[in-house]
């Protein structure tokens, strides 16, 4: 089956409602660095943008606009303590099983199995939604996330966009 072209469909829908064209991030090239060691020796970190936070953290706005914040979630946090606030996708299945968008339990199993060297003990989550401040995201939020990943000793990162 052909994938949905969400970008064109969303552009069309929102512009019909009078919204200005959304400036999607678009790049001509990709950054690249080779993996320095085999996967089973790498420390893997997880970043998910599905609006997940721990019950004692500042909640994400399910209709986030220009939210540049992120949360750090210890990967040993029981799922019962995690919440998902994100209304830009049908999150009902993800709420039933957070692994759909925040695959902590599966990655812990892959760590136990030795498929990855280790799974970084802190995951990073974002809420996203509509964002009209991409420069601030790149210049302010990203360096803070990078500092977390460096502190965790991550060699590789799995990004789950939602």
Annotate each residue in 22-61 with x if it binds another protein (CB under 8 A) or - if it does not, as one string.
--xxxxxxxxxx-x--xx--x-x-----x-----------
Query: What's the start-to-end Cα distance of the chain, in Å?
Result: 20
- Dist CA 27 CA 121 (whole Å): 31
User: Among 45, 52, 82, 116, which residue interacts with another protein (rule: CB under 8 A)?
Assistant: 116
**Shortest reach from residue 32's CB to another protein, in Å:** 4
User: Among 16, 58, 96, 143, which residue interacts with another protein (rule: CB under 8 A)?
Assistant: 96
Binders in 75-94 for another protein, by CB under 8 A: 87-94
Kindly state the number of chain residues that form the binding site for another protein, as judged by CB under 8 A.
Answer: 57
Note whether 52 and 102 are within 8 A (CB): yes
Give the binding range for another protein (CB under 8 A) out of 14-22, 52-60, 69-77, 141-149.
Answer: 14-22
Backbone φ and ψ of 70, nearest 5°: -140, 165
Between 51 and 70, whose beta carbon lies closer to another protein?
Answer: 51
Q: Determine the Cα angle at 73 with ends 100 and 61, to 5°.
A: 75
**At which residue do the structure tokens 């360096």 appear?**
143
- Sign of the four-CA dihedral 70, 87, 46, 157: negative
Closest CA to 134 of 81, 70, 77, 66: 66
Residues in contact with another protein by CB under 8 A are 1, 3-7, 9, 13, 18-20, 24-33, 35, 38-39, 42, 44, 50, 62-63, 65, 87-94, 96-97, 99-101, 103, 106-107, 109-110, 115-116, 130, 156, 158-162
């Amino acid at each position: 089956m052909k994938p949905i072209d969400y970008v064109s469909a969303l552009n069309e829908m929102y512009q019909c409602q009078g919204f200005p064209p959304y400036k999607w991030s678009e790049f001509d090239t990709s950054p690249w660095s080779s993996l320095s060691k085999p996967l089973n020796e790498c420390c893997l970190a997880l970043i998910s943008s599905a609006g997940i936070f721990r019950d004692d953290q500042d909640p994400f706005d399910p209709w986030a606009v220009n939210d540049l914040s992120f949360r750090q979630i210890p990967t040993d946090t029981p799922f019962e303590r995690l919440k998902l606030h994100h209304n830009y996708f049908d999150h009902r299945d993800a709420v039933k099983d957070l692994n759909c968008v925040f695959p902590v339990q599966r990655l812990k199993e892959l760590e136990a199995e030795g498929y990855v060297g280790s799974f970084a003990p802190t995951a990073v989550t974002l809420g996203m939604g509509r964002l009209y401040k991409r420069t601030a995201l790149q210049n302010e939020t990203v360096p803070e996330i990078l500092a977390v990943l460096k502190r965790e000793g991550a060699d590789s990162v799995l990004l789950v966009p939602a």
